[in-house]
Structure 1
Amino acid sequence: MTAAEKITLWLAQVRASGRAVLLARLVIMAAGVVALVVSSLQPWDQMDLVPMLAAPMLVVTVVLPDSLAGLLFIVILTGGWLMRAPGEISWGLGITAAALVVVHLATAFTAQLPSYARVHRDALKRWWLPAAIAVLIVPTAAVAAAAVQGADVAGSLLFTVGALALATTAIWFAAGQKIGRD
């Protein structure tokens, strides 16, 4: 099969796909663009290589959500922040982190579906609550980390790890997971 035939087949599958799959891919693209733009508009000097590497990874993530490109997109943007950003927590960091969480969740949802899948609303209901909890926890954790960072509180690392463990547990149970085997 030639490259043109593969593209034609993929476009036919996209035309046959349901709204949920297209909406999830649109969410991946929108959240990824937000993360790219917010990180690019920061006042600190970001490496020019970060957007040049991250943008193609975002496009590949939208087209092939079950590939390694989504992870590379998140790692590239996070690495760009860790290498050059100042140590304090800012609104840009919170928005970028929330956008990367949305990219992660939408990619996880879309990666389990073929591009031509039809998804019923009941399948989406399982994702709404955990996604909402995760997106709300990110800015809350950033604010809490900023408050604890400036204070010399004994056990602050233990407090942060405990809060993240509780958040993970809340997301786990909100997703309908159970402890043990069925």
Structure 2
Amino acid sequence: MNSAEKVTQWLSQAQATGTATWASRAAIVVAGVVALTLPGLQPWDQMDAIPIAGAVLLVATVLLPDSLAALLFLIVVSLGWLMRAPSDLTWALVVTGIALLVVHLAAAFAGQIPSYAVVNRQALRRWLLPATVALLLGPVVAVAAAVVRGADVSGSLLVTVAALAAATGAVWFASGQSVGARED
């Protein structure tokens, strides 16, 4: 197959792509740009390699959401924040965390289907409730963890892990999955 045939095949696959695939990839782009630019706008000094590596990984995540690129993008942005940012809980940290969560959820959805597949909107709706629950619980767990950490409560790690486990259980329950159910 020569390069002209490859481009023609790629264009026909892009034309056949359904709304759910475009919506998930658009969510990856928007949330990824927010997660990259928001830490860069903060007054503390961020390493110059973070936005460059993050941009390359974001493009790779959009093109190949089922690859390791999405995980590496989340790690790069998180490490960039952890290496230089102050330890205070700020609105920028919460928004960046929510943006990373959206990248994670959208990449998980987009990674399940080929880019050229036509997916019914019902599949996208099925992800909407768990994603909404995760987006709402993320900041609540972060604030609760910050309060517990600041209170010097013994066993605060256990409280944080329990809160994260409860949030995970709530997202799982909202997804409508059961323990023994399998979709064939």
Instruction: Tell me the CA shift for residue 121 of structure 1.
Output: 2.2
Match of 2:139 in 1: 139
Residue 154 of structure 2: aligned partner: 154
Give the conservation status (yes or no) of the 8 Å contact 2:34–2:99.
Answer: yes
Deviation at 1:35, TM superposition (A): 0.5
Q: Match of 2:120?
A: 120
Deviations 1:139-177 (A, max 9, x none): 111211221221121222211111111111111121122
Which sections of structure 2, spanning at least 5 residues, go unmatched? none
Q: Which residue of 2 aligns with 1:175?
A: 175
Q: Counterparts of 1:30 and 1:133 in 2: how far apart (Å)?
A: 19
Determine the C-alpha separation between the residues in 2 that align with 1:3 and 1:54. Answer: 29
Where structure 1 has 5 or more consecutive residues not aligned to the other structure, the ranges are none
- In 2, Cα distance between the equivalents of 1:132 and 1:181? 23
Partner SS, residue 30 of structure 2: helix
Structure 1 68/115 Cα, relative in aligned 2: closer, same or farther at 3 Å? same
Amino acid at match of 1:132: T
Change in Cα spacing, 1:3 to 1:69, as seen in structure 2 (3 Å) is: farther
Could you tell me which amino acid in structure 2 is paired with residue 64 of structure 1?
L
Letter in 2 for 1:169: G
Please state if 1:13 is matched with 2:13: yes
CA distance in structure 1 between the partners assigned to 2:122 and 2:11 by the alignment: 27
Two-structure CA RMSD over aligned residues (Å): 1.5
Cα distance per residue 1:43-70 (max 9 Å; x no partner): 1111000001000110111111111111
Matched, 1:111 2:107: no
Percent same amino acid at aligned positions?
Answer: 58
| Aligned pairs (5 A) from 1:29-178 | 29-178=29-178
Partner Cα separation in structure 1 for residue 135 and residue 21 of structure 2: 20
Residue type of the alignment partner of 1:111: G
How many pairs are equivalent? 182
How many angstroms does 1:181 deviate by? 5.9
Contact 2:27–2:106 (CA under 8 A) maintained in structure 1: yes
Separation of aligned partners in 2, 1:48 and 1:55: 12
Query: Structure 2: how far apart are the matches of 1:57 and 1:135?
Result: 23
Q: Deviations over 1:101-137 (max 9, x none)?
A: 0001001101111111111122122211110011111
SS of the residue 2:116 aligns to: coil
Judge conservation of contact 2:19–2:121 (CA < 8 Å) in 1: no
Supply the distance in 2 between the matched residues of 1:23 and 1:41 (Cα, whole angstroms). 27
